[in-house]
Amino acid sequence: MSSLGELRTMASQRRRGHIKEKHPDNLAGYLFLTPWFLGILVFCFVPMLASLFLSFTKYNLLRNPLQNPPPWIGLTNYINMFHDPTFWMSFKVTVLYVVVGVPVQLAFALALAVFLNHGVRGLTIYRAIFYLPSLMGGSVAIAILWRQVFGKTGLFNSLLGLFGWDNPPGWIGNPNYALWTIVLLHIWTFGSPMVIFLAGLRQIPDMYYEAATVDGASRVKQFFHITMPLLSPIIFFNLVLQIIFACQTFTQAYVVSGGTGGPGNSTLFYTLYLYQIGFLNNFQMGYASAMAWFLLLVIAAFTALNFVLSKYWVFYDD
Amino acid sequence: MTSLDTAAAPQARRHPTVKPHAMGIVKHVLLIAGSIAMVYPLLWLVVSSFKPNDMIFKDLSIFTRDLTLQNYVSGWTSLQNPFGTYILNSLVIAVLCIIGNLISCSLAAYAFARLKFVGRNVYFAIMLMTIMLPFQVVLVPQFTIYRLLGWINTILPLVVPKFLATDAFFVFLMVQFIRALPKEIYEAGQIDGANQFTLFSRITLPLMVPALATTSIFTFIWTWSDFFGPLLYLRIPDMFTVSVALKGFLDSQSTSDYGAMFAMSVVSLVPLFIVFMFGQKYLIKGFATTGIK
Note the pLDDT tens digit of each residue in B29-74.
999 999 999 999 999 999 989 988 877 777 667 777 778 898 999 8
Closest by Cβ to B136, choosing from A115, A240, A274 = A274
Residue B10: per-residue pLDDT: 41
Residue A21: band (very low, low, confident or very high) from pLDDT cuts 50, 70, 90? low
Q: In the 8-state DSSP scheme, what is residue B256?
A: -
Question: A42 to chain B, minimum CA–CA distance in Å?
Answer: 9
Residue A120: band (very low, low, confident or very high) from pLDDT cuts 50, 70, 90? confident
Residue A278: per-residue pLDDT: 92
Residue B169: band (very low, low, confident or very high) from pLDDT cuts 50, 70, 90? very high
Residue A14: per-residue pLDDT: 67
Mean pLDDT of chain B: 86
Q: Are A132 and B276 within 8 A, CB to CB? A: yes
pLDDT of B213 > 70? The answer is: yes
Residue B255: band (very low, low, confident or very high) from pLDDT cuts 50, 70, 90? low
Q: Which residues of A touch B291 (CB under 8 A)?
A: 1-3, 5, 196, 199-200, 234, 237-238
B110 at A interface, C-beta within 8 A: yes
The count of other CB atoms within 10 Å of the CB of residue B257 is: 17
Residue B188: per-residue pLDDT: 87
Residue A31: per-residue pLDDT: 94
Q: Which residues of A touch B284 (CB under 8 A)?
A: 127, 131, 195, 199
Question: Is residue B215 within 8 Å of B105, Cβ to Cβ?
Answer: yes
Top residue of B42, B71, B138 to mutate, by most chain A CBs within 10 Å, is B138
Question: Is residue A139 within 8 Å of B225, Cβ to Cβ?
Answer: yes
Question: Is residue A79 within 8 Å of A286, Cβ to Cβ?
Answer: no
**In this prediction, what percent of chain A has a pLDDT beyond 70?**
96
Residue A158: band (very low, low, confident or very high) from pLDDT cuts 50, 70, 90? confident
**In this prediction, what percent of chain B has a pLDDT beyond 90?**
61
* A141 vs B271: CA distance, rounded Å: 12
Note the pLDDT tens digit of each residue in B217-226.
999 999 999 9
Residue B21: per-residue pLDDT: 76
* A193 vs B86: CA distance, rounded Å: 31
* B35 vs A244: CA distance, rounded Å: 28
Q: Are A129 and B197 within 8 A, CB to CB? A: no
* B72 vs B159: CA distance, rounded Å: 30
Note the pLDDT tens digit of each residue in A170-227.
898 899 999 999 999 999 999 999 998 998 898 888 899 999 999 999 888 999 999 9
Query: What value does the mean pLDDT take over residues A62-77?
Result: 84
Mean pLDDT of chain A: 89
Question: Is residue A193 within 8 Å of A242, Cβ to Cβ?
Answer: yes
Which residue, among A126, A37, A205, has the nearest Cα to B165 in the 3D structure? A37
Q: Which residue has the higher pLDDT, A148 or B104?
A: B104
Question: Which residues is A284 bridged to in the sheet?
Answer: A60
pLDDT of B184 > 80? The answer is: yes
Residues 6 or more apart whose CB falls under 8 angstroms from that of A217 comprise: A225
Angle, vertex CA B66, rays to CA B63 and CA B68, nearest 5: 110
Residue A130: band (very low, low, confident or very high) from pLDDT cuts 50, 70, 90? very high
Q: Are A129 and B38 within 8 A, CB to CB? A: yes
Q: Which residues of B touch A40 (CB under 8 A)?
A: 126-127, 130, 166
Question: Is residue B243 within 8 Å of B77, Cβ to Cβ?
Answer: no
Question: A176 to chain B, minimum CA–CA distance in Å?
Answer: 22
Residue B24: per-residue pLDDT: 80
Q: In the 8-state DSSP scheme, what is residue A57?
A: B
Question: Which residues is A60 bridged to in the sheet?
Answer: A284
Residue B13: per-residue pLDDT: 41
- Out of A233-247, B89-103, B190-204, the most confident range is B89-103
Residue B16: per-residue pLDDT: 45
Residue B43: per-residue pLDDT: 93
Closest by Cβ to A132, choosing from B10, B39, B132 = B39
Q: Which residues of B touch A219 (CB under 8 A)?
A: 11
Residues 6 or more apart whose CB falls under 8 angstroms from that of A1 comprise: A9, B176, B291
Residue B244: per-residue pLDDT: 95
Q: Which of A12-16, B1-5, B192-196 has the least mean pLDDT?
A: B1-5
Note the pLDDT tens digit of each residue in B273-289.
999 988 887 777 766 66
Size of interface A-B (CB pairs under 8 A): 324
pLDDT of A8 > 90? The answer is: no
Q: Are B3 and A234 within 8 A, CB to CB? A: no
What stretch of H or E contains B93?
A: helix B83-114
Residues 6 or more apart whose CB falls under 8 angstroms from that of B193 comprise: none
Residue A64: per-residue pLDDT: 74
Question: Which residues is A72 bridged to in the sheet?
Answer: A57
* A78 vs A154: CA distance, rounded Å: 42
Residue B19: per-residue pLDDT: 58
Q: Which of A239-243, B20-24, B110-114 has the least mean pLDDT?
A: B20-24
3-class DSSP assignment, residue A284 = strand
Note the pLDDT tens digit of each residue in B118-161.
999 999 999 999 999 999 999 999 999 999 999 999 999 999 99
pLDDT of A1 > 70? The answer is: no
Residue A12: per-residue pLDDT: 76
Note the pLDDT tens digit of each residue in B2-17.
333 333 334 434 444 4
* A36 vs A40: CA distance, rounded Å: 6
Query: What value does the mean pLDDT take over residues B242-249?
Result: 92
Q: Which residue of A has its CA nearest to B34?
A: A130
pTM of the complete model beyond 0.95: no
